[in-house]
Chains A and B, each alone.
Chain A
Amino acid sequence: MKRILAIAWLTCRESVRSGTAVSLLCLALAAVGWLALTLQGDGTLAGQAEVFLRYASGAAISILGLASLWLGAGRIASEVDDRTIQTIVVKPVRTAEIWIGKWLGLVLVNAALLAAVGCVVVAGVAWILHRSGSRAQQERDDAIRRVMVCRTPLAPLPGAAGEPGECETREGDGSHDGDTHRSARIAREVVPPGGSRTWTFNLPGGSSGGLWLQFAFDYGSAERLPMQGTWSLTRPGSTNALWAQAVSGLSAGRHRVEIRQAGKLSGILTLTFTSARAQDTGVIVFRPGSSATILLGDSGMPAQLLRAMLIALFKLSVLAAAGLSCSALFTTPVATFAATSLAVATLCLQYFLSIPEGAATPHSCSTHGDQDDATKAAWYQAAADSVTRAGATVLKPAYSLDGIGPVSDGLTVPWALVGRAALVLLGGYALVLAALGIVALRRREMAGP
């Protein structure tokens, strides 16, 4: 362990001495500063702060990610090229210890840089929210309450109406089973004019941070007409509303309403939405998977950003591991190219996976066209599908691990997610890359003439 720490320390020291760490810090802080001065959001103070939080963190992490990849790719290969690695390999140090030590050094440098960036981002958000300007005090207070507090979503209890996730929808197979599920989905997501929909929640007592209701309407048949209705909270079996709020003029998209009497509410509660639309103005459609949630406001944004930064650090660690493993396999330029290509391919795959299924399906070839072309197109399509499926199987667990998105949306990042990120990213990807890198390094000729 001492040997690993010694190599890690050397790597850190070299990063500082060579000016790499300072340059990266300056670059990341310059990006954050530039965004703080230029971002405008949607014209509201809260929107500006949210957009800054998302983009400033994202920009800094992107810069550090790219730097991790390139630093890792240049680390071992360049030391082999200029033979400085011989000063280490002649010592009683195992190959694995060299690899791990260098990786740990890069991780520590990244951790320090991320900590600095995190502090500057929080300071930037506070500056945006508090700087003098033409904003009204009320808007400022609302923005602070919206951005500086993170809320924990409370999932509805399984009930008669059910919730997505408990009942996976299967469609398009034409079977009776598919029809049943489609009917269940319609019953779950569609509210007819004058109709209602209920959810059951178990609210913990003693929450002092306030309660919010978050709901999302989908684009329905009458999408341009404003949605209107009433939300209410009642005890099961009772008709007396503990809280009620009429909403009107809302459009498709996500909305958030503060539940004012939060202190009085705890235990099992039924949330009901009753549509106030007239018969001829169409149904109201809730967005699948995120129809309604109660949010408990219980944590400050900086603490949640710290957790998000931890997840980001794990991702940077994987990038550093990828760079180092490429560096153990190839010479510096090839390793840099290979690592960058790997990162680009991963990002492209993430984009392809984000496209809803069926949206990118090419039109079937015309019957008048060349049969060979059709066969070739089908073959290419099948090959692309196979590659995408294989990539998705390998990388999908990593794509779902996002901390910055929830924090900028005002949601908490649970420790469970941080733990899962550590397990998947460090225990999974980084470990595999480490094994690959160590094997490659062991086989590499390092004492050439």
Chain B
Amino acid sequence: MEHGRQDAEVADKGERNACLVLLAAATLFLVIAGCLNVVCYRDRTGRMRKIDNLDHAPPPVVFTSVVLGGFRGILSDILWLRASYLQDSGEYVELVQLADWVTRLEPESPETWSFHSWNMAYNVSVYMPDDETRWRWVQSGIRLLRDEGLRFTPSEPDLYAQLAWLYNHKIAGFTDTANGHYKQRVAAEMEGLFPGGRPPFHDPAAMERARQAAKLDPVRVREAEHKFGQMDWRAPETHAAYWAYLGTLASRGRGTMLCRRILYQALASSFFRGALAPDPGGLCDVRLTRRAMEVPALEAFLNVMHEVPQAGMDESVSNFVHDAILVHNAFGDEARASELLGLLRERYPAGNLDASVPEYCAREPGFAAMHAHGAEPLALVEGYLDRHWRAVARRDAVAADAAWGVAVNVWATFEKKTNPAVRKRFNVPPFDRFARAVFDRAIASISPEARGLLERDWAARMGEKGPR
């Protein structure tokens, strides 16, 4: 009996020890699991995308994000499939709405915003019968990104790049046959917000209106102007530069290379055509140069080159500098042209660079014909016309005649090399309208005494129907 009790005690003790061991093991595993969980959580948090501004998001987005949870993806897929089906069927009425819902269901995904914005601005707009309807779709694409996408994911440089690209390529570029209409609509909208294309910094209410309507942050606008110089905010290139600049600031500079590339492209375009000609009768569609943009454009080019030295970039920079030399020379700014030629010599030593600026430019008689699109030849014509009227103002008939001759010659070469359809797409105005725009700009910056001379010269030259 005693023996049996001892056996039972031993057995109990054994069981108790086994339990203790198991308990200790369980505790150990629990601690290990807890430690691993911290690692896993950190890893998951790093991988997951989060909405930056859920606290300030509208109630529907918060509702769908929190309540639907993982089912948001399924609902988003269903709506996306419907959108694709309708688009394939040529039914576009619901697409804006569906894009809005899909993006609100997945606001943390920049690809979703990018896709739907691109789809509306590029794929759908081209199927629209008239320019105004096309513009509505392009505008829908811009609004989706600018007003909604960037609100939820303000630190995604890709979204800034996409928006800047829409302004720089779709509106400022020439690939779309309705690009002239887009430019006019952007200019009209911005004229209402920034009269004359200049931000009214002295009027906080007006700046606030611009923030509401075009999402232009007054602080950033001032910053951009400080960095790149005064810009004409009616030009789409300016908006492209602004959004690309904001993209470079997003995400603490990480992953912003695309934005920086678009930035130099937009600034370079602004140099050639970044100003709307003054027109007392309303908005003028003639685009003139903004030569002050050359410095920030070159700086942006060189910054990117410094980080990513590539052969293609070298060519882009040298082409831009080359064109800038020709344009500065056309305007008679030999000093700046000479500086740029020095830069070419220093960075890209090659043949034909030892010449002086006039000699260097004289070797490029086919400049106007070499460029497929209209901006650069027009910048050249503008330069020579400007030089002509300044020569008239100082009564230098020889220089005036020479400059006029070159301007007319370049224009004629350009017209000869391009057909009317191409010129229409590139919004090339008739010579008399273009010359008048340059004349108005020139006359605004000279003394009142010299104005009479210019008026007489205009009457004499254009009264005979000019070069035509």
Contacts and interface: CB of A to CB of B under 8 A. Distances in A.
Task: Indicate whether A and B interact.
Answer: yes
Interface of A: 38-44, 47, 50-51, 54-55, 216-219, 224, 226, 248-254, 287, 351, 354
Interface residues of B, number: 21
Contacts of A54: 94
Given A253-B90, A253-B92, A354 B128 contact: no
B97 A51 contact: yes
Contact of A249 (B90, B93, B130, B140): B130
B273 to A, nearest CB: 26
B91 A254 contact: yes
B129 interface: yes
Contact of B94 (A51, A219, A251, A287): A51
Interface in B76-110: 81, 85, 89-97, 100
Contact of B90 (A224, A248, A251): A251
Interface of B is mostly: helix
B90 A51 contact: no
Interface in B140-194: 140
Nearest to B58: A38
Nearest to A34: B60
Given A40-B100, A43-B136, A253 B93 contact: no
B94 A252 contact: no
Given A40-B100, A354-B85, A252 B136 contact: no
B126 to A, nearest CB: 6
Contacts of B93: 41-42, 47, 50-51
Contacts of B85: 354
Given A43-B140, A253-B91, A38 B129 contact: no
A39 B139 CA distance: 17
B201 interface: no
Nearest to A44: B136
Question: 10 closest pairs, A vs B, by CB?
Answer: A253-B90, A251-B127, A249-B129, A47-B93, A43-B136, A42-B93, A252-B90, A250-B129, A42-B96, A51-B97
Contacts of B89: 253
Contacts of A253: 89-92, 127
23 contacts: A39-B97, A41-B94, A41-B97, A42-B92, A42-B93, A42-B94, A42-B97, A43-B139, A43-B140, A50-B93, A51-B93, A54-B94, A55-B97, A216-B90, A218-B90, A226-B129, A251-B126, A251-B127, A252-B127, A253-B90, A253-B91, A253-B92, A254-B91
Contacts of A217: 90
A42 B95 contact: yes
Nearest to B90: A253
Contacts of B60: 38
B205 to A, nearest CB: 20
B146 to A, nearest CB: 15
Contact of A40 (B81, B90, B97, B129): B97
B368 to A, nearest CB: 29
A48 B167 CA distance: 27
Nearest to B120: A42
Contacts of A38: 60
Residue from the set B89, B94, B97, B139 with the largest chain A CB neighbour count within 10 Å: B97
A6 B128 CA distance: 59
Interface in B365-406: none
A216 B90 CA distance: 9
A42 B136 contact: yes
B95 A251 contact: no
A421 to B, nearest CB: 23
Interface in B104-141: 126-130, 136, 139-140
Contacts of B81: 351
Nearest to B60: A38
A155 B299 CA distance: 66
A251 B96 contact: no
Given A51-B93, A55-B97, A287-B90, 17 more contacts: A38-B60, A39-B97, A40-B97, A42-B92, A42-B94, A42-B97, A43-B96, A43-B136, A43-B139, A44-B136, A47-B93, A54-B94, A224-B126, A224-B127, A251-B129, A253-B91, A253-B92
Nearest to B139: A43
Most chain B CB within a 10 A radius of its CB, from A41, A42, A224, A252: A42
A253 B93 CA distance: 11
Contacts of A47: 93
Contacts of B91: 253-254
Contacts of A55: 97
